[in-house]
Amino acid sequence: MRVLTRDPAKAQFPAGVEVATGDLLDIDALRRAFAGVRTLFLLNAVTGDEFTQAIVTLNLAREAGVERVVYLSVFGADRAVEVPHFAVKFGAER
């Protein structure tokens, strides 16, 4: 298992977890982090660039040959697109 974090000094993971440094807008870091990855669990922050983070990450995952993506979205994103956070999640789901 590999996790991506901006600050490894703050990361506390169990033994055996590989830590990769970077963020979801750091294309080179994502490419390195995706090397050999088959499944991605994507949880991105609720920020102004949340959609950009998701789309960049998902496109680079596809480029790297990631086979499966588990995306932490919101329930009913497709039914509440007038809520900006839900619209972003729905866009990323699509």
Return the number of other C-beta atoms located less than 10 Å from residue 33's C-beta. Answer: 25
* The residue to which tokens 């499944």 are assigned: 39
As a whole number of angstroms, the distance between CA 63 and CA 75 comes to: 28
pLDDT at 75: 93
The full set of domains in the chain, from first to last, is 2-93 (3.40.50.720)
pLDDT given at position 2: 95
Q: Are 60 and 27 within 8 A, CB to CB?
A: yes
Give tens-digit pLDDT for 42-52. Answer: 999 889 999 99
pLDDT tens for 70-84 read: 999 999 999 999 999
**pTM: predicted TM-score of the whole model, two decimal places:** 0.88
**b/e burial code for range 77-92 (CB count within 10 A of at least 16 → b):** beeeeeeeebebbbeb
For the chain, which residues score pLDDT lower than 50? Answer: none
What average pLDDT is seen over the chain?
94
